[in-house]
A and B are shown apart, each in its own frame.
Chain A
Amino acid sequence: MDTALFAKEFPSLARHLGSGNVSLLLQLAKIHEIPAGHVLINDLSPVDAVYLILSGELRVELRADKESLLLGRLGKGKWVGEVSLFTEDHISSASVTTDTPTTVLSLKHADFIAAQSQHPDFVGALTQVFLDLMTQRLRASDQILQQVGEHRLAFPGSDTLLRSDDEATRRGWLKTMLKKLSGVEG
């Protein structure tokens, strides 16, 4: 991919980065084609790159024991892997799996870190992208908790379940509510 095609496909990002930084991103990053059903990032596992989705669709999930919570689906123009980029241990905070055949642009964490001294303008421009993205993600994640707390979703029988003295019943309701919120269950 060249800078002109990148600017055509991702005009907003290209404008923000500027042509010099887009060119550097394309030099440092590599394109990968990934089949559907591939786990790109494993929840709570080390991650060594941040990915820009060029095409395809991926789902972001949290996993605990045998349960999972869908946080959202991401497509063309979205980034994944940025949270672990900014943590000391580079451990992921969610899993990311391809739902369709997917193409990503992969920028190694090590290259991003090395660029901090060599290309601060590039790192600054990308960091602002990631700051905006993480702000949106934190707010979205917070809304899930808020919705659970405020019981905004219509769910027949939930008032009775909430008043139940039985802890297992209440927790069962909460799990069902979380899944409903996440879209894992229809």
Chain B
Amino acid sequence: MLLKSFLKCQSNFKHLTEPDLDALAHAFYVEDRPAGYLLIQEGKPGKNLYILVEGEVKVSRYNPLTGESEELKMIQAGEMFGLLSLADHQPAVASCVAHGPVKVGILLRTGYNVLSKSAAPIALGFQLAMAEQLASDIRHRNNTLRGLLR
């Protein structure tokens, strides 16, 4: 499947024009990864921004109290991940592992840096997509905290 067609169906990328979607799709490369593949490792610097095209990715974090890895959420197709670590240059807060075979779009840090700081129209569409993903992540996180209160 062409990545452009996939991106076009995602609400996060609704701000992008056809030519911008084309250009953005070319900035990503798409890879298949097997079940159990470690895409992001907790505590390590982020290298890439990912968009999940097919399958599911499990987000988990080591809990030193139990000594076990605890699942935080399951990423579904259309969601981006790896953004926080790329944006603030701090280590990843959780690990992301393929839960079954997955297809992911991968944007290297260099591409992310160009798109996140540029004033070009394609960059604005990309930045709005990033903002929507971060807002969604904050809402999910706050819901987790809210659940702990109950």
Using a CB–CB distance below 8 Å, which chain A residues touch chain B?
A: 62-65, 67-69, 71, 82-88, 93-94, 116, 120-121, 123-124, 127-128, 130-132, 134-139, 141-142, 144-146, 148-151, 162, 174-175, 178
Q: Is B9 engaged at the interface, CB distance under 8 Å to the other chain?
A: no
Question: B61, B144, B149: which has the most chain A beta carbons within 10 Å?
Answer: B149
B142 contact from A141, A151, A162, Cβ within 8 A: A141
Assess A120 versus B149: contact at CB under 8 Å? Given A86-B132, A86-B134: no
| Min distance, Cβ A5 to any Cβ of chain B, angstroms | 26
Chain A residues near B74 (CB-CB < 8 A): none
- In the complex, what residue of chain B is closest to A141 when comparing beta carbons? B141
Secondary structure of the A side of the interface? helix
Chain A residues near B15 (CB-CB < 8 A): 116
B138 contact from A65, A138, A145, Cβ within 8 A: A138
B150 close to A65 (CB less than 8 A)? yes
Q: B23-67, CB under 8 A of A: which get 1 and which 0?
A: 000000000000000000000000000000000000001011100
Secondary structure of the B side of the interface? helix
A130 contact from B131, B141, B142, Cβ within 8 A: B131
Q: Is B136 engaged at the interface, CB distance under 8 Å to the other chain?
A: yes
A174 contact from B123, B131, B148, Cβ within 8 A: B148
Report 14 cross-chain contacts, Cβ distance below 8 Å, ordered by A residue.
A63-B146, A64-B146, A69-B145, A71-B145, A82-B135, A83-B139, A86-B128, A93-B142, A116-B15, A116-B128, A128-B116, A137-B138, A144-B145, A148-B148
